[in-house]
Amino acid sequence: MPTKAQKTDRSKAETERLNQHYRHLLESIEQGFCLIEMIYDEAGTAINYRFLEANRAFERHTGIRNAVGKTALEAVPDLEAHWIATYAEVARTGAALALEQGSLAMDRLFKLDAVSIDGAGSNKVGLIFSDVTDHRRAEQRLIKGEERLRLALEAGRMAVWDWSFESGENIWNDAMYRMLGLQPEAAPASLESWMSRVHPADLPAVESLFADSLKAGGEFHLEFRVLGQGDEIRWVSARGRTNSDAEGIVTRSYGVMTDVTERNLIDNDLRVSETRYRRLFECAHDGVVILDAGTRKIIDANPFMTKLLGYKHAELVGKELYEIGLLKDEAESKSMIRALNSRNQVRYEDLPLESRTGVHKEVEVIANLYNEGDRLVIQCNIRDVTERKIAEEHVSMLMAEVNHRAKNLLAVVQAIANQTAREGSPATFSARLSDRIVALAAGQDLLVRNQWLGVELSDLITAQLDHFRDWIGTRVMLDGPVAELTPDAAQGIGMALHELGTNAAKYGALSNDTGKVLINWQVTKGAHPKFSITWLERGGPAVQPPTRAGFGQTLIGRMAQASVQGTAEIDFAEAGVAWSLNAPAANVLTRSSLGRT
């Protein structure tokens, strides 16, 4: 049998072996461990404790080095009293305690288990603990982050879905229900509920996109219409992601939807506005160039401007106005910018402009300065006023011509009145004067209708013989080429024709039922073409030559000659009156008519 000494040695060896196991166990755990001994004052009140043992993890969790043998207040002088009181209570009652408590002195939060080593009334307590400071701070950050995310989602009116394929759980936030016009208690958060609120016209595209995302995984995005509150049609933008495991099996789908109805309406209005502006820009019959206000260089030009200047669009871009001949030089270009900065608009009138091909134009320019996004631009509207200027000059010339002709016409009327007054009796004066003024007015009407440019001779004859209109072509025969008379020639020849017609009706070929009048005119060709017109009467009563020369002969003689700087002849032959007028064609016909000879 083993001796008492042998038994003692075995007991010591077993104890040592257990201690080694115990030590190995304590050193291998992640938590901190320490054995403490409570220290009491004379009144039996716990005032401190001493560290008897500590594992290697103790220092990592507490930050206290070489703790064994030290008291708690030596290791942490500002240690809170509640730690001493808590451990003393465990030692006194022998009841184990689990708690999570923080130490301001150590700036740490601990999760620990405390147990009395020898039961109630012992002064030794064992502690197993972990520093959970970082973990709890991370949790707080996560909670705060989730709260911020929730607030952001609510502020942005974002609808969220999160579908776990593993658990089958589908989570929606309140905004998702509102966006789809559903009530949480009436419709579960599911793919079927979601698809039921997609607009029928967009449903195939949405189903196809979602099916593809389940196969391929990854991110997806689509804008489509849904039926919102009260089945109101709303546009939404859905952005999501589908996750798969290592074997390619879909595990989760999540994402957000935002209501983009108002944005789409604004975008559509903007597109319409841009389209209208671009159409105006492209189709305008004014030149338009857009310049960068900082560089003064052209950044855009419409087609009319390229046509006006003879440049291609790419050739205009990058140039300053003076480089395309619109302003005189760089100094004038800078001057325009200064003027725009002070009053936002500058107007130039009657600017000369020469195109690339050398065509001279008169233009009017209105430049406006305004903001376009984040930069200042200048829009120059350039109107070609060349034709307007020509028209204005033409009107001015016409006014001067009207003034000149009005004076001449008054002089003619005065001469007609004076000469008529010398003929016959006062009783016939009024009628004869009226007839001659009517004849003069007929010629003036034709000139006015033709803007004083000229009168077609056949129209003049018809107007002057208006009271014989029914006989033209039967008893009054016209024969001659197209000939446009100048205003002076029309006035003189017109008065002569009227006088000849009046005499023919009174005494000549048109005074009976069988007489005829033949009116013929010709224009010869050549370097110096001649104009001639003849009046020949046949079939009337025998002609009696006048016994005196009255004003009528003056009209068909000297006044007709003077109007064309030619010669007039009249023959009172018994068979019928014959009258002719001959003159250089240049004195009778307009330039356009001369060009046709």
Q: What is the DSSP string of 462-522?
A: HHHTGGGGGGBTTTEEEE----EEPHHHHHHHHHHHHHHHHHHHHTSGGGSSS-EEEEEEE
Q: What order of strands is seen across the sheet that includes strand 345-354? A: 298-301, 287-292, 375-384, 360-372, 345-354
Give me the pLDDT at residue 582, please.
94
Residue type, 116: S
Give me the pLDDT at residue 408, please.
47
Give me the pLDDT at residue 593, please.
77
Mean local confidence (pLDDT), 193-215: 88
Q: Is the overall model pTM greater than 0.85, yes or no?
A: no
Q: Kindly state the tokens that stand for 111.
A: 């999760």
Whether 282 has a pLDDT exceeding 80, the answer reads no
Give me the pLDDT at residue 430, please.
57
Give me the pLDDT at residue 17, please.
66
Packing angle, helices 457-464 and 487-506, rounded to 10: 40
Indicate the Cα dihedral angle 530, 565, 414, 404, nearest 10°.
90
Mean local confidence (pLDDT), 270-290: 73
Give me the pLDDT at residue 134, please.
87
Do the domains 284-383 and 156-264 match in fold? yes
| CATH number for the domain formed by residue range(s) 16-136 | 3.30.450.20
Question: Whole-angstrom Cα distance, residue 333 to residue 292?
Answer: 12
How many residues does this entry show for the chain?
597
Instruction: Break the chain into its structural domains and give their ranges.
Output: 16-136, 156-264, 284-383, 420-595
Q: By three-state DSSP, how is residue 73 classified?
A: helix
Taking only the tens place, the pLDDT of each residue in 457-499 is 888 888 888 777 888 889 999 999 998 888 888 888 888 888 8
Give me the pLDDT at residue 41, please.
93
User: Which 8-state DSSP code applies to residue 344?
Assistant: S
Among 362-376, 379-393, 427-441, whose mean pLDDT is lowest?
427-441
User: In the chain, what percentage of residues exceed pLDDT 90?
Assistant: 23
Question: Whole-angstrom Cα distance, residue 403 to residue 527?
Answer: 34
Give me the pLDDT at residue 411, please.
46
Taking only the tens place, the pLDDT of each residue in 574-585 is 999 999 999 998
Mean local confidence (pLDDT), 319-331: 79
| CATH number for the domain formed by residue range(s) 284-383 | 3.30.450.20
CATH class entry, domain 420-595: alpha beta
Query: Is 3.40.50.720 the CATH number for 156-264?
Result: no
Residue 361's H or E segment, with its range, is strand 360-372
Packing angle, helices 487-506 and 386-422, rounded to 10: 30
Confidence label for 404 from pLDDT (cuts 50, 70 and 90): very low
Taking only the tens place, the pLDDT of each residue in 506-561 is 889 988 989 999 999 999 988 889 999 999 999 999 988 887 766 677 778 888 88
Cβ of 489: how many Cβ atoms within 10 Å? Answer: 27
Taking only the tens place, the pLDDT of each residue in 29-78 is 889 999 999 999 999 999 999 999 999 889 899 999 999 999 999 999 99
Higher pLDDT among residues 200 and 322, named by residue: 200
Whether 419 has a pLDDT exceeding 50, the answer reads no
Confidence label for 96 from pLDDT (cuts 50, 70 and 90): very high
Higher pLDDT among residues 576 and 427, named by residue: 576
Question: Whole-angstrom Cα distance, residue 176 to residue 228?
Answer: 10
Q: What is the DSSP string of 215-277?
A: HH-EEEEEEEEEE-GGG-EEEEEEEEEEEE-TTS-EEEEEEEEEE-HHHHHHHHHHHHHHHHH
Mean local confidence (pLDDT), 276-283: 69
Average per-residue pLDDT for the chain: 81
How many distinct helices (H) and strands (E) make up the chain? 20, 22
Question: Whole-angstrom Cα distance, residue 210 to residue 217?
Answer: 10
Taking only the tens place, the pLDDT of each residue in 111-154 is 999 999 888 888 999 999 999 888 888 887 776 656 665 655 56
